[in-house]
Amino acid sequence: MTPFVLPDEYEDLRASLRRLAEGEIAPNAARADELSEFPWKSWEAWRDAGFTRLPWPAELGGDAGTFLAHAIAVEEVARVCASASLFTFISKLGMTVLLDHGDADLVARYVPRVVSGECQASYCLSEAEAGSDVAGMSTRALRDGDHYVLTGTKSWITNAGISDFYTVFAKTDPDAGHRGISAFVVERTFPGFSIGKLEQKMGVRGSPTGEVVLDECEVPAGNLIGEENQGFYYAMGALDRSRPLVAAQALGLAQGALDLAVEYVKERRQFGRPIAEFQGLQFMLADMASLVDASRLLVYRACALLDEGLPGTAAASSTAKLFASDAAMRVTTDCVQLLGGAGYTTELPAERMMRDAKVTQIYEGTNQIQRLVVARELLG
């Protein structure tokens, strides 16, 4: 269900994505969650169907899909598997700074291999003591002749150990705060690069999250993205365009939970009739549907602003992310409640959806940070 009519090409895309998601991604979701394993079969189905090309520029081998098209893709995969939905957009985030600010040779060396699905990419900004406080990062990058030496540990990195390429943010001027950060493309094969601890998580357990350890990691000077000491601004610009995709992930989770709840209450009988006939449960479903539709409007609006290059994208992206993720937490929790004891078991995906939804309120900037972004926009 969509709250307004999209052009036919978007609805055709949605139909194709839903067929793939339900047929080849959903069957792997429970196992990936149970074993905390990357869902390789889902990734291969996504790649083989050609969807890795969707959001990338045509000149790099992509399909030149819009932000809205990409959001629909994320939404449809998240509807059946939140873990798999991360691989639909994390590589784009991992390469966005390079696309925006890298020179043509550097872009040509890395991006086409990600576009084709040959390789994957990650975004390495956070550290144990530098989450919302990006300027507090301690990872250093010291120029030494024709290369930089990177030292430090990045934390909470999506696709850690899966990705081949990592966009790493490090201090080139440690005394300059956020004005002393630079960005680099780091290959996992570079000397001094390793994967540290992998987190044991409550949700999205099929998408590995862990540490990237840089122990005097040697990075060619040509792998500096753009200019030295501009990395903070590059990073924030990339996040502004990734937040609507996190919002789309939350939207997909909420839609999946709503669909599951509706199907269940129609079949479940108590007191001699389907529980769907009970007014109290109908009110819950109506509230859930309203939150899903409102989330979709905000997500699609943010994407439309980005596609048209209009002002106000930062606030629109933050609004979509905070509303959709809060809505997803509410809708998935209510789904578990509507399913009762069955919702609390792993036989149905409701409890997984509820666990998965929580992280959408936290990563790509906590919802408290999103509220600050929106408030500052309002106050000028």
Residues annotated as catalytic are: 364
3-state secondary structure of 41: helix
- Going from the C-alpha of 169 to that of each of 129, 137, 166, 192, 343, the distances in angstroms are 14, 9, 10, 16, 41
As a whole number of angstroms, the longest Cα–Cα distance in the chain is 79
Query: What six digits make up the tokens of 246?
Result: 């996190």
Which stretch of DSSP H or E encloses residue 196? strand 193-198
In angstroms, the CA 274 to CA 267 distance is 6
Backbone angles phi, psi at 212, to 5 degrees: -110, 115
Q: What is the 3-state secondary structure (H, E, C) of 51-115?
A: HHHCCCCHHHCCCCCCHHHHHHHHHHHHCCCHHHHHHCCHHHHHHHHHHHHCCHHHHHHHHHHHH
